[in-house]
Copies of this chain bind each other. A is one copy, B any other.
Amino acid sequence: MQLPQKDANTLGSDHRRPKIEQVHTMSKPETRIQQRNRAAILSAGLDIFSQFGLRGSTLDQIADAAGLSKPNLLYYFKSKDAIYTALLERLLETWLDPLQKMDANGDPIKEILGYVHRKLAMSKDYPRESRLFANEILQGAPHIADHLSQDLRQLVDEKAVVLKTWEAAGKIAPIDPHHLVFSIWAMTQHYADFDVQVRAVLGDKDPFEDAMAYLDTLFRRMLTPPNS
């Protein structure tokens, strides 16, 4: 019933300041038990939420997957929503990273392909996070609508300018930069979000190696300027 999922593969290993949801005195250092249990809960929540979404997941499912009793789970997070939003926040912290790293001063095609590569690696290494995000978007992004129209939009617009600069300098063939970004998101995240379908079509052979090769040629052919 549950997808096999090597655990511990979790974004943001959490060496960070105490979170606000901390139940007790706030800002006291976490005990080892707290660390272990919070991590277990977040990982379990990621498993469940990424499959069933916020509404479709239950505390019992999550508690079960985390190996804790339901009241004990609620000792660490004050509600189902709190687990969900903690996961979303942690995800958003790193979600934009790969795009941010695209360097206006680097070699254009190399930079774009580097982005594609990082994004596909995220689909491979953090598929649950990708599916959690997909689920949130499918539901209309109620928890992150602001983030999308603020931070995300700004970042994309910024990078679109860079892409247009590269285009103007003749370094890449003419393209619509926004839709270029969408196509990178779509194709890379597809291998995480639609993993079941990809594997059903391909048989269970790991798709990521071939996917990377395919995406590499795709973007090279599309982006290499005509006169070269």
Query: Which residues in A have some Cβ–Cβ distance to B below 8 Å?
Result: 3, 50-57, 131, 134-135, 137-141, 145, 148-149, 152-153, 156-157, 173, 175-176, 178-183, 185-187, 189-191, 193-194, 196-198, 200-202, 207, 210-211, 213-215, 217-218, 221-222
Contacts and interface: CB of A to CB of B under 8 A. Distances in A.
A138 B148 contact: no
A184 B51 CA distance: 24
20 contacts: A51-B138, A51-B140, A52-B139, A55-B55, A134-B193, A135-B138, A137-B194, A137-B197, A148-B201, A157-B201, A173-B221, A175-B214, A176-B210, A179-B207, A179-B215, A182-B211, A183-B218, A221-B221, A221-B222, A222-B222
Q: How many copies does the complex hold?
A: 2
Contacts of A214: 175-176, 179-180, 183
Given A176-B210, A180-B214, A193-B134, A200 B51 contact: no
Contacts of A179: 207, 210-211, 214-215
Q: What DSSP secondary structure best describes chain A's contact surface?
A: helix
Contacts of A54: 56
A64 to B, nearest CB: 15
